[in-house]
Amino acid sequence: MQFVPLIPSEFDAAPWSGFPAVELAWQGRAHPGWPGRPVHALHFPPQAWDAALGEAVMAALRARLEVDFLVLAAGAPGGRMAASGFLSVLEGLLELTHGTGVKLALRPLPGAAAELVRTLRDVHGEAVGFCWDPGVAGDLEAISDRLFCAVGGPGDDLAGLQALGYHWNLAVPVREPAPARGALAALAEAWPPVFFPAGLEAAPDPAVHLPEAP
C-alpha cells in the first residue's frame, strides 16, 4: 500500500509539495495551486444522488485537477424507484467524465456494499469501481475485484487489504504536513507491502523450470 495524505481541497497546495501524491476532499472549490500537481483522487462529501451531485462533479472537473478518480459516497439504492434514480444519476456522471480519463469510485455507506455490487452487476456497470474504508471491511470480498482506492488511518485494521495484495493508495485524512509525514511513515512500517494475495505466495508457476544446481 502507498499511504498518501487526504486534505481539504481549499488548503494551500505549497506546504504539501514534498509529498509524491495527495488526495483531496472536495469543498466546492480547489486552491489555485493544485492544478498540475499529483492529485490521485477527489473525495466528495456524502450527499443525495440528485442533480446537485452532478453540479458538484461539473464544478470539480472545471477546477482542472488531473485526478484519476472521483470518489462518491453511496448508500444502498433500495427499491425499484430508488435504484432507477440512482442509476440515472450515475449514467449522467459517467457521461460527464467520458473522455476525461477520470473514473468513478463508490465509497459504500455502512451496509450498502453488497446491494451496490448487485445493482452495478445487473446493469453491467464495470466502469465503476469502489473505495474501501473501515466501515466496509466486512464487505471487502464483494468489492475486491474493482477496488480502485481506499481511505483509512492509524488504528484501522488493514489486514484484509494486505491479504488481498492491495498495492494502490490508501488516503489518510490529515491537516498539517509535519505530523502527516510521521503518521504516514508509521503506517507504512506497520503495514509493509504485500505483492501477492494470501495463498498465492507458495503456488509456483508450473510453466517455469529452474535449472538444477551444478
Q: Tens digit of pLDDT for each residue in 103-141? A: 999 999 999 999 999 999 999 988 999 999 999 988 999
pLDDT attached to residue 212: 58
Reported confidence tier of residue 196, pLDDT bands at 50, 70, 90: low
In a domain, 99, yes or no: yes
In a domain, 209, yes or no: no
Instruction: Give the CATH number, domain containing residue 183.
Output: 3.20.20.150
pLDDT attached to residue 213: 52
Higher per-residue pLDDT: 181 or 203? 181
pLDDT attached to residue 77: 86
Of 55, 138, 123, which Cα lies nearest the Cα of 86?
A: 123
For residue 165, the enclosing domain spans 2-190
In a domain, 208, yes or no: no
Question: Which residues share a beta bridge with 5?
Answer: 172
In a domain, 185, yes or no: yes
In a domain, 143, yes or no: yes
In a domain, 211, yes or no: no
In a domain, 196, yes or no: no
Domains of the chain: total: 1
Stretch 9-38: mean pLDDT, rounded? 96
Tell me the C-alpha distance between 136 and 142, whole Å. Answer: 10
pTM: 0.89
Tell me the C-alpha distance between 4 and 24, whole Å. Answer: 10
In a domain, 95, yes or no: yes
160 Cβ neighbours under 8 A, 6+ residues apart: 137, 140
Please give the share of the chain, as a percent, with pLDDT higher than 70: 91
pLDDT attached to residue 204: 54
Tell me the C-alpha distance between 106 and 75, whole Å. Answer: 9
At 34-52, the pLDDT tens digits run 999 999 999 999 999 999 9
Stretch 77-83: mean pLDDT, rounded? 83
